[in-house]
Amino acid sequence: MNDIVKPDAATPDSRFAAKVFPSPNHGERKQRDGENSDALPGRRPDMLILHYTGMPVAGEALQWLCNPVSQVSSHYFVFENGHTLQLVPEGRRAWHAGASHWAGETDINSSSIGIEIANPGHPGGLPDFPEEQIAATLNLCRDICERWSIPPERVLAHSDIAPGRKIDPGEKFPWRRFAEAGVGLWSEPAPIRGGRFFARGESGQPVEALQAMFAMLGYGVAVDGLFDEKLEAVVAAFQRHWRPEKVDGVADSSTITTLRDLLAATQGARTA
């Protein structure tokens, strides 16, 4: 496992990054409550978060991530042609996650490594990610996960940790391909058919059971039996990642079955 590195490193942590293009926007990783501050120099990352830039020009997105006024950054930046830069040392806390939640944690910046993938995103029509870019991102992700022992169930989309607030990297990101290469978790989505579904405005024990399943996976959702705007956002985030054929925030039978299958796969990954 890697050691926490110094913030002035001039050589990329990953061999898949061409060079360091430093951003000033980072800080010390904060430890979990109860961790021994004498035992660790800082929190070791155990999550990988993928983003798209959501800006029309890659170079402008890169400059924004390196501008101290922006107060945002990421550890890596991948251009459309696959050229990859490191902006923040992996041992430092980059500012990419914002207000977020996963599996009871809210300081995702301290526990994660963030990768920004140049793509105009939904505002720009959500164009396909070029093959060169996907191949470079996959190599980078696989390298990071191997060096930091990041488990598949903790490779996530920005939309997973901030449902409703964020929708990147979007439903066109090839999560299945990444999982097949050992990066991230995947379960084949259940076919979209008719049948019972749950949507905003409903309430009761079945909705509570649905919320409990999403919370078990890691989503920050209250288990109160109310299908409100927040739960709708969680359902849509789940669909973007694991049932991308239809993203509408409605918990249909396909979404619920896929969620159950993914939970089973997650438990299997954790016990393997």
Cα angle, residue 106 at apex, residues 55 and 187 outer, rounded to 5° = 70
Residue 27: what are its φ and ψ, rounded to 5°? -155, -170
Q: Cβ(100)–Cβ(162) under 8 Å?
A: yes
Q: Give the burial class of 69: count Cβ atoms within 10 A of its Cβ; 0-12 exposed, 13-18 middle, 19 or more buried.
A: exposed
Q: Cβ(16)–Cβ(136) under 8 Å?
A: yes
SS3 string of 182-223?
Answer: CCCCCCCCCCCCCCCCECCCCECHHHHHHHHHHHHHCCCCCC
Tell me whether residue 188 is one of the annotated catalytic residues: no
> Which residues partner with 26 through β-bridges?
94
Give me the catalytic one of 28, 80, 90, 116: 116
Q: Cβ(24)–Cβ(129) under 8 Å?
A: no
Q: Which residues are catalytic?
A: 116
